[in-house]
Amino acid sequence: MSETTFQVHNDKFHSILGHSPTLQLLYQNDTYPFAHEAGVYIPTTNHLFITSNRYTDSNNNQKIQITRINLSTTPVTCEELEPPIPMGNGGVNYGPNEILICGQGNLTEPSGLYTMSTTAPYTSKLLVGDFLGRPFNSVNDVVVHSDGSIWFTDPIYGFEQGYRPAPALPCQVYRFDPVDRSIRAVADGFGRPNGICFSPDECTVYVTDTDRHHGDGTDDPHRVSSIYAFDLSVYHGQPFLTNRRLFAMADNGIPDGIKCDLEGNVYSGCGDGIHVWSPGGVLLGRIRIDGGCANFCFGKDGEIFALNEHRLWRVQLGSHVKGALLGI
pLDDT tens-place string over residues 137-152: 999 999 999 999 999 9
pLDDT of residue 2 exceeding 70? no
pLDDT at 1: 46
**% of the chain surpassing 90 pLDDT:** 96
User: Is 71 a residue whose pLDDT tops 60?
Assistant: yes
Render the burial of 301-312: b for 16+ CB within 10 Å, e for the rest. ebbbbbbbbbbb
pLDDT in tens, 217-239: 899 999 999 999 999 999 999 99
With H, G, I as helix, E, B as strand and everything else as coil, classify residue 296.
strand
Query: Would you list the domain boundaries of the chain?
Result: 3-316
Q: How many CB atoms lie within 10 A of CB 6?
A: 22
32/53 Cα distance (integer angstroms):
8
Instruction: Quickly state the pLDDT bin for 58 (edges 50, 70, 90).
Output: confident
Average pLDDT over residues 268-291: 98
Q: Which CATH architecture has domain 3-316?
A: 6 Propeller (2.120)
Given a cut of 90, whether residue 3 has pLDDT beyond it is no
> At a CB cut-off of 8 Å and minimum separation 6, what does 123 contact?
83, 116, 117
